[in-house]
């Protein structure tokens, strides 16, 4: 894994015309730029993601919505797929770079509540959170609105934001943030609320709140240390510095880094793969990982796994999987 990340760094340095170090070797970008570019083909998809167009056709930045129905929202929209289990929460307030204002937050709250309802019958099996464009994911808080707020209003708004992101985190199905472009402050905290993060080559992530004399208030001080460790989280929070895509991948802020192609394309491909699993098993797996991680002892962790495993044993889907394996066909899971 470290070798793959080192290769990613070298490719990024090559694009900037610098030098890169891997182990005892220091490579100048100029003579090796073409070789490094060719190496992208050799990197396994599990490390960097892919720009493959086979599963999801390349379309405009907001993606092909022809197989989705709009369920609710204007500035944050919930799109639910027909018959494939993938739902999308689309941020659509481009005039303000998807800044988190009152209206967008209200829409986001409604989207998360409705999405949670639709996981009960397994209509939704995976959720992708993305922007309507690859140029920006979410620029953070709407500072124009914030300047007009009193202290009590600021506290109340951030409390709502915190609760909304926690509800997103607690959706019973896997969630993926497709981070194309800028994701700063509350925008990065929104991405941190998802299970996985896929970034494009042009994305920029950071928590600049200390530069504004505040701190991350929508979960960033808690989720980021869990994700990348306390020292690295303190580095980013104390300095307020931003990370480019390859740096964010090195830090562990991104799970997949797409060198060519868009983050949404890769995220949807990943979501389609995830949604192909057993619906009951997907929810049980998320609960087992999250619940076990929060348990204080190994006995407690094993108890969480045991409870979740017991839920999948009596399902029809488990028997269907065994039959499909025997008959050499694709299983038809129904969430029962």
Q: Which of 88-97, 162-171, 308-317 has the lowest mean pLDDT?
A: 88-97
Q: Return the pLDDT at 184.
A: 95
pLDDT above 70 coverage of the chain, percent: 81
> Which whole number is the average pLDDT over 200-214?
93
| Res. 238: pLDDT tops 60 | yes
Q: Return the pLDDT at 25.
A: 37
323 carries an active-site annotation: no
> Which whole number is the average pLDDT over 189-199?
97
pLDDT above 90 coverage of the chain, percent: 69
Residue 62's pLDDT band, with cuts at 50, 70 and 90, is: low
141 carries an active-site annotation: yes
Q: Which residues, 6 or more positions from 306, have their beta carbon under 8 angstroms from its beta carbon?
A: none
Q: Return the pLDDT at 304.
A: 95
Q: Return the pLDDT at 326.
A: 92
pTM of the predicted model over 0.85: no
Choose the catalytic residue: 75, 109, 134, 209: 209
Q: Return the pLDDT at 135.
A: 86
Distance between CA atoms of 168 and 126, rounded to whole angstroms? 12
Q: Which of 7-11, 47-51, 86-90, 238-242 has the lowest mean pLDDT?
A: 47-51
209 carries an active-site annotation: yes
Q: How long, in residues, is the chain?
A: 336
153 carries an active-site annotation: no
Q: What is the CA radius of gyration of the chain?
A: 21
HEC profile for 110-128? Answer: HHHHHHHHHCCCCCCCEEE
> Which whole number is the average pLDDT over 84-111?
93
Where b means 16+ CB within 10 Å and e means fewer, 133-152 reads bbebbbbbbbeebbeeeeee
**Chain centroid offset of residue 210 CA:** 24
Q: Return the pLDDT at 91.
A: 95
Choose the catalytic residue: 101, 186, 187, 261: 186
Q: Return the pLDDT at 84.
A: 85
pLDDT in tens, 103-119: 999 999 999 999 999 99
Angle at which helices 29-39 and 2-16 pack, to 10 degrees? 130
């Amino acid at each position: 894994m470290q070798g793959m990340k080192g290769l990613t760094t070298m490719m990024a340095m090559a694009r900037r015309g610098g030098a890169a170090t891997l182990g005892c070797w220091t490579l100048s970008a100029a003579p090796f730029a073409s070789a490094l570019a060719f190496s992208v083909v050799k990197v396994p998809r599990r490390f960097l993601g892919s720009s493959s167009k086979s599963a999801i056709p390349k379309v405009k930045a907001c993606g092909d919505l022809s197989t989705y129905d709009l369920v609710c929202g204007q500035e944050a929209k919930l799109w639910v797929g027909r018959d494939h289990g993938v739902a999308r929460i689309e941020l659509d307030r481009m005039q303000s770079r998807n800044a988190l204002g009152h209206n967008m937050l209200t829409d986001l709250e409604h989207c998360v509540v409705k999405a949670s309802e639709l996981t009960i019958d397994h209509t939704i099996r995976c959720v992708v959170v993305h922007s309507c464009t690859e140029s920006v994911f979410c620029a953070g808080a709407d500072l124009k609105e914030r300047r007009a707020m009193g202290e009590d209003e600021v506290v109340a708004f951030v409390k709502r934001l915190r609760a909304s992101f926690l509800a997103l985190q607690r959706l019973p199905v896997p969630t993926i943030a497709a981070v194309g472009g800028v994701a700063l402050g509350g925008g990065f905290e929104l991405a941190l609320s998802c299970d996985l993060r896929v970034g494009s080559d042009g994305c920029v992530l950071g928590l600049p709140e200390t530069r504004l004399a505040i701190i991350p208030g929508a979960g960033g001080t808690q989720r980021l240390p869990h994700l990348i460790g306390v020292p690295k989280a303190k580095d980013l929070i104390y300095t307020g510095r931003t990370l480019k895509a390859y740096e964010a991948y090195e830090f562990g802020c991104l799970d997949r880094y797409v060198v060519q192609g868009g983050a949404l394309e890769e995220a949807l491909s990943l979501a389609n793969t995830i949604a192909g699993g057993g619906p009951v098993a997907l929810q049980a797996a998320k609960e087992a990982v999250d619940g076990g991680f929060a348990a204080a002892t190994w006995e407690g962790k094993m108890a969480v796994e045991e409870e979740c495993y017991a839920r999948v044993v009596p399902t029809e889907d488990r028997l269907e999987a065994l039959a499909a394996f025997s008959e050499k066909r694709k299983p038809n899971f129904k969430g029962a």
